[in-house]
A and B are shown apart, each in its own frame.
Chain A
Amino acid sequence: MTTIEVQAGTPLDAYVPLLGRAEIEEIRTLARPLRGRTIQMINSTSVGGGVAEILNRLVPLALELDLQITWDVMAGGPDFFEVTKAFHNALHGGAYLHRPEDFEIFARYTEQNRARLPLDADFTVIHDPQPAALVEGRERQALDLAVSHRSLARQRERLELSGAVRHEI
Chain B
Amino acid sequence: MKTAQLPFEFFTVAPLIRVGNEVVETLAELRDGLERCSDASIFHHTFQTLGRHHFLTEGFSSDFAQWVLTATNRRELAEQLASLDIGDYLSIAELRSDLRRIVASYCDLFPQYANQTALERFWFCEGIEVSVPLDRCASTLEELQAGVEQMSHASFFFHFVSSRMRLHLRTNDFSLWLSRELGLERLAADVNRIDIYTNTLDSARAALVRLLVREARSA
Interface positions of A (Cβ within 8 A of B): 20-23, 25-26, 29-30, 148, 151-152, 154-155, 157, 159-169
In the complex the two chains form, is B12's CB within 8 Å of A26's CB? yes
Given A25-B150, A162-B14, residue A169 in contact with residue B40 (CB < 8 A)? yes
In the complex the two chains form, is B92's CB within 8 Å of A26's CB? no
Chain B contact-residue range equals: 20 to 34
What is the CA–CA distance of A39 and B102 in the complex, to the nearest angstrom?
45
Given A26-B155, A168-B40, residue A161 in contact with residue B130 (CB < 8 A)? yes
What is the CA–CA distance of A154 and B11 in the complex, to the nearest angstrom?
29
A161 CB, nearest partner CB in chain B, Å: 6
Interface positions of B (Cβ within 8 A of A): 11-17, 19, 39-40, 43, 52, 92, 123, 125, 127-135, 150-155, 165-166
| 6 additional A-B residue pairs with CB within 8 Å, beyond A22-B155, A26-B12, A151-B125 | A22-B150, A30-B132, A157-B17, A157-B125, A163-B130, A166-B130
Give which listed residue, A23, A155, A161, A168, contacts B152 with CB less than 8 A.
A23
B173 CB, nearest partner CB in chain A, Å: 13
What is the CA–CA distance of A37 and B150 in the complex, to the nearest angstrom?
27
Closest to B38 in A: A169
Instruction: Write out the residue numbers on chain B whose beta carbons fall within 8 Å of the beta carbon of A20.
Output: 152
Closest 8 CB pairs of A and B: A151-B19, A164-B132, A169-B43, A160-B14, A26-B152, A167-B129, A162-B14, A22-B152
A70 CB, nearest partner CB in chain B, Å: 22
A-B contact count (CB 8 A): 78
Given A29-B134, A166-B128, A169-B40, residue A155 in contact with residue B123 (CB < 8 A)? yes
Given A22-B152, A30-B12, residue A167 in contact with residue B17 (CB < 8 A)? no
In the complex the two chains form, is A159's CB within 8 Å of B16's CB? yes
Can you list 25 A-B contacts (CB < 8 A)?
A22-B151, A22-B152, A23-B152, A25-B150, A29-B135, A30-B12, A30-B14, A148-B19, A152-B17, A155-B125, A159-B16, A160-B15, A160-B16, A161-B14, A161-B16, A162-B132, A164-B130, A164-B132, A165-B133, A166-B129, A167-B129, A167-B130, A168-B40, A169-B40, A169-B43
Instruction: Write out the residue numbers on chain A whose beta carbons fall within 8 Å of the beta carbon of B40.
Output: 168-169
Residue of A23, A163, A164 with most chain B CB atoms under a 10 A cut-off: A164
In the complex the two chains form, is B16's CB within 8 Å of A169's CB? no
In the complex the two chains form, is A29's CB within 8 Å of B12's CB? yes
In the complex the two chains form, is A169's CB within 8 Å of B39's CB? yes
Closest to B19 in A: A151
Instruction: Write out the residue numbers on chain B whose beta carbons fall within 8 Å of the beta carbon of A152.
Output: 17, 19
A119 CB, nearest partner CB in chain B, Å: 21
Residue of A25, A168, A169 with most chain B CB atoms under a 10 A cut-off: A169
